[in-house]
Every structure is written in structure tokens, then in C-alpha cells.
């Protein structure tokens, strides 16, 4: 059930965001192990950690479209910019709507997403 207004509207939107991310089947690139674990807890399967990637380099990414979810701090923004530039240069499309949601909802770190679900006791 959707909540039309009030303090729980954001959680309803977050649940929808997490559901869509889980079912997108796109490769998701994150900064670190905690970010990866947070997304795995939401059921996202196709994740690589940039700091400890299973890919040898960005050139090894053969996807046509990826999702980049780095934190919204200065380091995360810089990393996002570098990844986006280098992947787009190779013809890889960046799906930015998931990151845009983090900005809109002022969710500063990827790892904090599951903490929001834990805090609210709202299940996916």
C-alpha cells in the first residue's frame, strides 16, 4: 500500500527504489565492501566493488549500461565523475536515476540505505 503523504512517504519511495534496483539486472558499481553488503541485503545481485573489483580494469566491463552508486561526499562525487567519464568514453551508458534518487532523498551513503530500512522496521 502506498502512503499518499506524511513521514512514511519517503520510506514507500525508498522501498520502490530498492525493488526497482533489485530487478534492474544491471551491473552496479559501488565504492566499498559496506556498500556492496548493503545492496546485497536488498537483494541486488550484480555488484562490483570498485576498490576491490573482480574486473581487472574498466576496460574489462562489457556491459552496455551500468549503475554507479558512489557516496555523495567529495570522494564519492569525484569517483563517480571519473567512472562515468571513462565508461561513457567507451560507449557504456550510465543509468543515473538511482543515484539521482540518493541526492533527492539526501541519502549520503550507500551503506546507510539498509540502515534506513532497519530503523523504520519496514520490510522490502
The domain total for the chain is 1
| Long-range contacts from 58-63, C-beta under 8 angstroms, 24+ separation | 58/83, 58/86, 58/87, 58/90, 59/90, 61/27, 61/87, 61/90, 61/92, 63/26, 63/27, 63/92
What is the pLDDT confidence band of residue 53, given thresholds at 50, 70 and 90? low
For residue 3, being part of any structural domain is answered with no
Tell me the pLDDT tens digit for each residue of 57-105: 777 788 999 999 999 999 999 999 999 999 999 999 999 999 998 888 8
For residue 105, being part of any structural domain is answered with yes
For residue 102, being part of any structural domain is answered with yes
For residue 42, being part of any structural domain is answered with yes
Q: Provide the whole-model pTM.
A: 0.81
For residue 21, being part of any structural domain is answered with yes
- Segments forming the whole domain that contains residue 114: 9-119
For residue 124, being part of any structural domain is answered with no
For residue 40, being part of any structural domain is answered with yes
For residue 113, being part of any structural domain is answered with yes
Q: Domain holding 100: CATH number?
A: 3.40.1360.10
Amino acid at each position: 500500500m502506498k502512503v499518499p503523504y506524511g513521514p512514511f512517504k519517503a520510506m514507500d519511495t525508498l522501498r520502490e527504489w530498492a525493488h526497482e534496483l533489485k530487478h534492474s539486472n544491471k551491473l552496479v558499481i559501488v565504492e566499498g565492501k559496506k556498500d556492496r553488503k548493503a545492496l546485497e541485503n536488498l537483494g541486488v545481485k550484480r555488484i562490483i566493488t570498485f576498490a576491490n573489483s573482480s574486473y581487472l580494469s574498466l576496460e574489462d566491463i562489457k556491459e552496455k549500461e551500468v549503475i554507479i552508486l558512489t557516496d555523495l561526499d567529495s570522494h564519492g562525487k569525484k569517483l563517480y565523475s571519473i567512472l562515468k567519464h571513462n565508461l561513457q568514453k567507451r560507449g557504456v551508458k550510465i543509468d543515473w536515476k538511482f543515484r539521482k534518487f540518493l541526492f533527492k532523498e539526501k541519502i549520503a551513503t550507500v551503506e546507510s540505505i539498509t540502515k534506513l530500512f532497519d530503523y523504520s522496521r519496514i520490510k522490502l
